[in-house]
Amino acid sequence: MPEKRIGLLLVEDNPGDVRLIKEMLAGPAYFGVTYQFSQVESLNTAVQACSNNRFDVILLDLNLPDSSGLATLENLNGLFPHIPIIVLTGLNDAELTMQSVQQGAQDYVTKEECTSQLLTRVIYYAIERKRIEAQLKHLATHDSLTGLPNRALFYDRLGLATRRTLRRNTGGLNWKAAVILMDLDNFKRINDTFGHESGDRVLHQLAPRLRASLRQSDTVARLGGDEFAFILEGILDQADAMFVAQKILKSLNEPPIPDAGPDPLKASLGISFFPNDTEDLELLIKFADQAMYAAKHHEDRIRFYREK
């Protein structure tokens, strides 16, 4: 089995400790891993290094020339929460150990107790715990069938999008965020005619098409059943939202999805705008829902809230 190479960043300003850590990690490749080693001496250079490179784990001394104590951990973990951090310190302090874990550290190792075997084991388990933590978080916030964000994550991202829109408009601009609700008009027929497994396959194949219809900054979520919701940021007028809505409709059948049967997929889309229609998020979604049901009675299947 080939060895796995782990990208490791050591944030330590003591030359003697740097040398010892390097010697420990240059030993036998426990767990079948070797290390691609980088080292910096301050919090600022650690932030720069993490911004410009990919690291699998960080070994962090809390006391650095430009930062000290738990603030060092809070700053680095806040900026790079996806990278597991192991606190490496000369203090044998049980309370600090607990506080470090509460602030996001995966583990805590004192320098006087550190050995090659202990350090490599701690690194390996920290990476595995972080990976499992990320998997569990993904399962809690994403729809299991389509892999799209679920209702909870949709609401979270909508809150972020509206706050960003308000901040952008402080200079007198008129940026908007749009919510689009969509359901498939003939999805029940697919389930009744071809079975629920075919319906599930249609939804599974539809998800990447809907995602591809959007910009990277936008969101598509599955709210449940055959209902989807979209968040568009950086919208100036109805034409911007209409362009995206038409792309979404076009994506349903180009190319056709075999499991949907011989008839093309049809959908109705309703659109509301923040802050023009309302600044209340529940009302914003309700207005998009009302527009979606109005769209079912119009040939183009797209309707804006307030549109007659």
> Which positions are annotated as active-site residues?
226
Q: Which of 29, 39, 34 is nearest to 6 (CA)?
A: 34
Six-digit token string for 246: 């038409």
Instruction: Record the tokens describing residue 90, joined without a space.
Output: 């000369």
Compute the distance between CA of residue 73 and CA of residue 181 in angstroms, rounded to an integer.
41
One-letter identity of residue 152? A
Pairing of strands 57-60, 4-11: parallel
Residue 167, token pair as written in the block: 């901040």
- Written as one string, the DSSP assignment of 180-212 is EEEEETTHHHHHHHH-HHHHHHHHHHHHHHHHH
Cα separation, 15 vs 72, in Å, equals 19
Q: Tokens for 295, please give them.
A: 């769209």
Token reading at 100? 């470090």
Distance CA 188, CA 225 (A): 10
Distance separating alpha carbons of residues 302 and 19, to the nearest angstrom: 65
Angstrom distance (rounded) from CA 225 to CA 241: 24
d(CA 266, CA 279): 30
Q: Give the span between the Cα atoms of 162 and 155, in whole angstroms.
A: 11
Closest C-alpha to 263, from 199, 189, 183, 196: 189
